[in-house]
């Protein structure tokens, strides 16, 4: 399961999506999420799904990696679907004891599952095709106007960059600790849910110690390089939007406009 967590990983490429300005990708991700949550009917969802499939094909992201990254959210998706099925009123389809399954509940469950999967897949494409450094630079640039009200934009971007960089390292560290515990007789794969949760407790302390040690080493490294925040800092690579970014922006605006029209029409 740990190897299925791929958030924060970057897969190099030379595609249209990889070459986009990180600010364009962030804005397009927001537009995509807005379109996804605006969609109401089957046609709207079909349009958003076609857009997502097109982006995946253009970015040439391995579908196996994408599907594997969705495994950790299966429980959340299933739980959400069950809640929609059991607690949505409407036309009864099946009734058993005190449980009533309605047609509207089934429809809402399918649409909610599809929405969650498409949401996660779309955000994963952002991190798969953008380096953490470029992502944080783009976020800092977009939030730049907030500096006028003394909002710590650079510090926020730096924390996000550090978190994205630490996620793969912490996953590897957890895998190593689990292997060491298994070699000493620990069992993480058998028993009920409560027993498995108790078996995971011995992992918490060494994992926290490792995380604090890495954070301390990073702080010492930054201090030794005279890091004092974003004031006066320059970038080796300056962000610059090009023709490709403007075309992509127009496509995103068109997608959102189409979804809004379809939502108004109830499609």
Do residues 239 and 20 make contact, with C-beta atoms less than 8 angstroms apart?
no
- In angstroms, rounded to a whole number, what is the distance separating the alpha carbons of residues 53 and 58? 9
Structure tokens of 214?
């890495």
Helix (H, G, I), strand (E, B) or coil at 99: strand
pLDDT on residue 169: 76
CA–CA distance, 118 with 148 (Å, rounded to integer): 36
146-184 per-position pLDDT tens digit: 878 888 888 888 887 787 777 777 777 777 877 777 777
pLDDT at 188: 66
pTM of the model: 0.79
Type and span of the H or E element at 259? helix 243-265
Point out the least confidently predicted range of 1-5, 58-62, 69-73, 134-138: 1-5
- Token code pair at residue 244: 């490709």
Asked whether the beta carbons of 58 and 151 are under 8 A apart, the reply is: no
């Amino acid at each position: 399961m740990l190897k299925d967590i791929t958030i924060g990983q970057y897969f190099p490429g030379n595609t249209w999506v990889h070459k986009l300005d990180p600010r364009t990708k962030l804005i397009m991700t927001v537009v995509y999420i807005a379109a996804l949550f605006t969609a109401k009917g089957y046609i709207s969802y079909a349009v958003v799904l076609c857009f997502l499939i097109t982006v995946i094909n253009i970015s040439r992201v391995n579908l196996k990696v994408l599907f594997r990254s969705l495994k950790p959210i299966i429980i959340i998706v299933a739980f959400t679907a069950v809640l929609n099925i059991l607690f949505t009123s409407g036309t009864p389809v099946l009734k058993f004891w005190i449980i009533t399954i309605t047609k509207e509940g089934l429809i809402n469950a399918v649409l909610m599952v599809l929405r969650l999967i498409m949401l996660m897949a779309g955000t994963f494409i952002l991190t798969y095709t953008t380096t953490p450094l470029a992502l944080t630079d783009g976020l800092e640039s977009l939030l730049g106007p907030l500096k006028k009200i003394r909002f710590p934009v650079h510090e926020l971007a730096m924390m996000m960059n550090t978190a994205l960089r630490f996620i793969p390292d912490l996953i590897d560290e957890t895998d190593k600790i689990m292997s060491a515990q298994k070699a000493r007789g620990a069992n993480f794969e058998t028993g009920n849910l409560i027993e498995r949760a108790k078996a995971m407790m011995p992992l918490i302390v060494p994992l926290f110690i490792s995380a604090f040690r890495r954070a301390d080493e990073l702080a010492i490294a930054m201090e030794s390089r005279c890091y004092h925040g974003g004031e006066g800092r320059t970038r080796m690579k300056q962000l610059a939007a090009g023709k490709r970014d403007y075309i992509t922006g127009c496509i995103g605006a068109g997608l959102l406009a189409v979804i809004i029209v379809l939502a108004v029409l109830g499609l």
